[in-house]
Amino acid sequence: MTRSTHLPRPLTLAATGLAAVVLTASMSACSSNSSDASSASDPVVAVETTGTEADADAEDSTAAVPEGFTLVEVPEYGISVAVPSDWDTLTSANASDGELVGRIAQALGHSEDEVNADLEDTPLTSVDTASDSDIPPSLVLGRVDGDGALPSEDRLKQLAETNDVDSTDYEPTTSGSGADAAVFAVRALEDGTQYYLSVVSVTNGDDSYYATVIITHSEHQVKEISDAVLASL
């Protein structure tokens, strides 16, 4: 039995199929493997800190978030990620907000039920709902278990070729927390419009990584968001 991932419409178009493949290729596993991955994942633990420690943590978090971005918690993973402050962002923590879900559903061309279903495997979705584009700027975050600490450059480039998109850069780097990371950038043409897509991968142990997929209409914007995401993880 396999488990598949349902992603927002902009990330499942043929021209940007790389995003869906990156997030789903290794999340589809037999039920026995899924159990192993669940057992191996780190639990989220609430830790009581002193006032000094809490203040220091707050300063560190603030320093990692550039102007124009907001740090949003992903409850399922026990992490927080920077997203554009003027985008609408959905997680399980605010999924009961019907107006928010409705705006995101309308922007993505999905039903509200589909948007809520997306949260199962990509528990953070952020969308520029003010955009009038058929494919609005957006990002989703998911976790890939059982496929190594990071996706390889060769694999990502092969996926890009398979999905008929142009890869532009693969950059090994480190995240704001010092974890190994990689940023893979591609561009795709859809109905005469150029889109820029970035996959920001940050290791989560020896056999797991977080993958944030960003799509925008501007090469500058996709880099700016990628940098903010990377710094916050």
Sheet holding 180-190, edge to edge: 88-90, 124-127, 138-145, 208-216, 193-203, 180-190, 166-174
Tens-digit pLDDT profile for residues 177-228: 999 999 999 888 777 778 898 999 999 999 999 999 999 999 999 999 999 9
60 pLDDT above the threshold of 70:
no
Domains, the chain, ranges and CATH? 9-28+66-232 (3.40.1000.10)
pTM confidence score: 0.77
- Answer whether 135's CB lies under 8 Å from 110's CB: no
* Start-to-end Cα distance in the chain: 32
Tens-digit pLDDT profile for residues 111-162: 999 999 989 888 999 999 999 888 899 999 999 888 899 988 888 888 777 7
Q: Which residues in 150-164 are b (16+ Cβ under 10 Å) and which e?
A: bbeeebbeebbeebe
| Unique residue bearing structure tokens 């693969």 | 170
Instruction: Tell me how far apart the alpha carbons of residues 188 and 163 are, in angstroms, rounded to a whole number.
Output: 10
Please tell me the predicted confidence (pLDDT) of residue 225: 98
Average pLDDT taken over every residue of the chain:
77
